[in-house]
Amino acid sequence: MKRTKNHKAPKTLELLTTADMVQLFQVTPSCLYRWRRRQILPSVKVGYSVYFIKEDIETILKHKSKLSMQRKEDLDAIPDSKK
């Protein structure tokens, strides 16, 4: 009998609804729609419902946070007379 490797089950994705995103980003649903249309936020459509993958949103927020920190560091490096 041939042995097979046990494969791990795929990780389940946590999905965020439009209402979750409105609360998280403090924007209107129409703003989220524009962001989706412009491909600013990745989303998945299941039937007529739109969802956002939590992991993707967390990655975007972490990246944005890093950019903000870098921007702050860049501004702090400028002498006060030039700000």
pLDDT digits (tens, 9 = 90+) for 33-55: 999 999 988 999 999 999 999 99
pTM: 0.66
pLDDT digits (tens, 9 = 90+) for 23-35: 988 999 999 999 9
Architecture of domain 15-82: Orthogonal Bundle (1.10)
Spatial distance between the Cα atoms of 78 and 83, rounded to a whole number of angstroms: 7
Spatial distance between the Cα atoms of 56 and 75, rounded to a whole number of angstroms: 29
Closest CA to 14 of 53, 47, 51: 53
One-letter amino acid of 46: V
